[in-house]
Amino acid sequence: MRQYEASNIRNVAVIGHGSSGKTSLVEALLYRTGATDRLGKVADGTTVSDFDPEEIKRKASLNLSIVPIEYNNVKINLLDAPGLFDFALGQAEALRAAGSALIVISGKSGVTVGAKKAYKAAERLGKPRAIFISKMDSDHADFYKVLEQLKTAFGPSICPLVVPFVEDHKVKCYIDLIGMKAYSYESGHRAEVVLPDMGHREEGLINAISEAVAETDEELMEKYFSGEQFTMLELIRGIRSGIKDGSITPVFCGSAANLEGLSLLGGAIVSMFPSAGEEAPEEGELDGEPVEVACSAEDPAVAYVFKTVADPFVGKLSYVKVVAGKLSADTELVNMTTGQPEKLGKLLFIRGKKQEEAKEIAAGDICAISKLTANTGDTLCSPKRKVALNKAEFPAPCYSMAVKPVGKGDESKISQGIARLLEEDPTLSFVLNTETKEQILSGLGEQHLDVTVAKLKNKFGVEVKLEKPTVAYRETIRKKVKVQGKHKKQSGGHGQYGDVWIEFEPCDSEELVFAENVFGGAVPRNFFPAVEKGLQDCVKKGVLAGYPVVGLKATLVDGSYHPVDSSEMAFKTAASLAYKAGLPQASPIILEPIGSLKVQVPDEMTGDMMGELNKRRGRVLGMNSIGEGMTEIEAETPMSEMQDFATLVRQMTQGSGSFTLEFLRYDPLPSNLEAAVIANSKQLADA
**Pairing between strand 170-176 and 181-186?**
antiparallel
Q: If you classify domain 399-467 with CATH, what class do you get?
A: alpha beta
Say whether 399-467 and 285-389 share the same fold: no
In this prediction, residue 88 carries a pLDDT of 97
* Contact status, residue 235 vs residue 37, Cβ threshold 8 Å: no
- Compare 231 and 635 and report the one with higher pLDDT: 635
Q: For residue 217, what are the CA distances in angstroms to 210, 211, 241, 431, 504?
A: 12, 11, 8, 55, 80
The percentage of residues in the chain with a pLDDT greater than 90, rounded to a whole number, is 86
Q: Rounded distance, CA 105 to CA 98, Å?
A: 19
Where in the chain are the domains?
A: 6-278, 285-389, 399-467, 475-586, 591-686
**Torsional sign, CA 494, 500, 506, 508:** negative
In this prediction, residue 492 carries a pLDDT of 64
In this prediction, residue 169 carries a pLDDT of 87
* Contact status, residue 426 vs residue 394, Cβ threshold 8 Å: yes
**CATH fold group of domain 285-389:** Elongation Factor Tu (Ef-tu); domain 3 (2.40.30)
User: pLDDT digits over 481-530, tens only?
Assistant: 999 999 998 776 678 999 999 999 999 999 999 999 988 788 999 999 99
Q: Count the neighbouring beta carbons within 10 Å of the beta carbon of residue 491.
A: 7
Q: What is the CATH architecture of 6-278?
A: 3-Layer(aba) Sandwich (3.40)
User: pLDDT digits over 295-325, tens only?
Assistant: 999 999 999 999 999 877 778 999 999 999 9
Q: Rounded distance, CA 287 to CA 390, Å?
A: 14
Q: What average pLDDT is seen over the chain?
A: 94
Residues 6+ apart with CB under 8 A from 593: 471, 472, 473, 474, 638, 639, 640, 663, 665, 666
In this prediction, residue 495 carries a pLDDT of 86
Q: Which amino acid is at 558?
A: D
User: pLDDT digits over 98-108, tens only?
Assistant: 999 999 999 99
pLDDT band at 687 (very low <50, low <70, confident <90, very high): low
User: pLDDT digits over 650-681, tens only?
Assistant: 999 999 999 999 999 999 999 999 999 999 88
In this prediction, residue 102 carries a pLDDT of 98
Q: If you classify domain 475-586 with CATH, what class do you get?
A: alpha beta
Residues 6+ apart with CB under 8 A from 126: 246, 280
Q: Rounded distance, CA 286 to CA 147, Å?
A: 45
User: pLDDT digits over 312-358, tens only?
Assistant: 777 899 999 999 999 998 999 999 999 999 999 899 999 999 999 99
Is a pLDDT exceeding 90 seen at residue 187? no
Is a pLDDT exceeding 70 seen at residue 628? yes
Burial profile 266-286: b = 16 or more Cβ within 10 angstroms, e = fewer: bbbbbebbbbbbbbeebebee
pLDDT band at 178 (very low <50, low <70, confident <90, very high): very high
Is a pLDDT exceeding 90 seen at residue 2? no
What φ, ψ does residue 486 adopt, rounded to 5°?
-125, 125
User: pLDDT digits over 395-416, tens only?
Assistant: 999 999 999 998 887 777 888 8
Q: Rounded distance, CA 684 to CA 436, Å?
A: 11
Q: Rounded distance, CA 127 to CA 501, Å?
A: 72
Phi/psi region, residue 16 (left: phi>0; alpha: psi -120 to 50; beta: rest), is: left
User: pLDDT digits over 103-152, tens only?
Assistant: 999 999 999 999 999 999 999 999 999 999 999 999 899 999 999 999 99
User: pLDDT digits over 424-470, tens only?
Assistant: 999 999 999 888 889 999 999 999 999 999 999 998 889 999 999 99
What average pLDDT does this structure show over 147-162? 95
In this prediction, residue 601 carries a pLDDT of 96
Q: What is the CATH architecture of 591-686?
A: 2-Layer Sandwich (3.30)
Burial profile 197-221: b = 16 or more Cβ within 10 angstroms, e = fewer: ebeeebeebbebbbebbbbbbeebe
In this prediction, residue 493 carries a pLDDT of 66
The percentage of residues in the chain with a pLDDT greater than 70, rounded to a whole number, is 99
> Is 445 buried (19+), middle (13-18) or exposed (0-12) by CB count in 10 A?
buried
Q: Count the neighbouring beta carbons within 10 Å of the beta carbon of residue 359.
A: 9
